[in-house]
Amino acid sequence: MRFRVRYAETDQMGVVYHANYLVWMEIARTELCRVRGVRYRDIEREDRLVLAVAEAQCRYHAPARYDDQILAKGYLKHGHRRMITFGYEILNAETGELLASGETKHIFLKDGKPIKVPLKYQELFGIV
């Protein structure tokens, strides 16, 4: 997913505020699911499930600044019947420089309680 850093995403030093990288990871994850044929909102609306973040990790390599063009990449790192792990790379789209990398681990919830990944989503999340 490509986009430009907005002024509101920067801090007083002119660099992107650290929490925005997690937002960009969410954008990459949502688009990854969409490209693979499933929309997050359909999981929530049709199946009444929530794919909740259980853990998040981000490593900062270099700063992004206002108006930089960003490329946020998401990929399926590991699928398990109880937990899905997504990996991310946030890059400067013009130079290819790695700005941040990380991962998030997710569990499915139904009525607020953890459940195994439903059969209809196992192929999508690499569970065989």
What does the pLDDT read at residue 128? 74
CA distance 19 to 36: 26
Residue 73 maps to a domain: yes
Residue 115 maps to a domain: yes
| 11 catalytic per annotation | yes
Quick one: average pLDDT of 48-56? 96
Residue 27 maps to a domain: yes
Residue 128 maps to a domain: no
Residue 127 maps to a domain: no
% of the chain surpassing 70 pLDDT: 100
What does the pLDDT read at residue 93? 98
Q: How far is CA 26 from CA 12, 18, 30, 43, 75, in A?
A: 24, 14, 6, 15, 12
Residue 99 maps to a domain: yes
The domain containing residue 81 runs over which residues?
A: 2-122
Q: What value does the mean pLDDT of the chain take? A: 95
- State phi, psi for 119 to the nearest 5 degrees: -50, -40
Residue 56 maps to a domain: yes
Quick one: average pLDDT of 13-30? 96
Query: Residue 29 maps to which CATH number?
Result: 3.10.129.10
Per-residue pLDDT for 56 more than 80?
yes
- List 11, 42, 47, 67, catalytic entry: 11
Quick one: average pLDDT of 36-63? 94
Residue 96 maps to a domain: yes
- Report the number of distinct structural domains present in the chain: 1
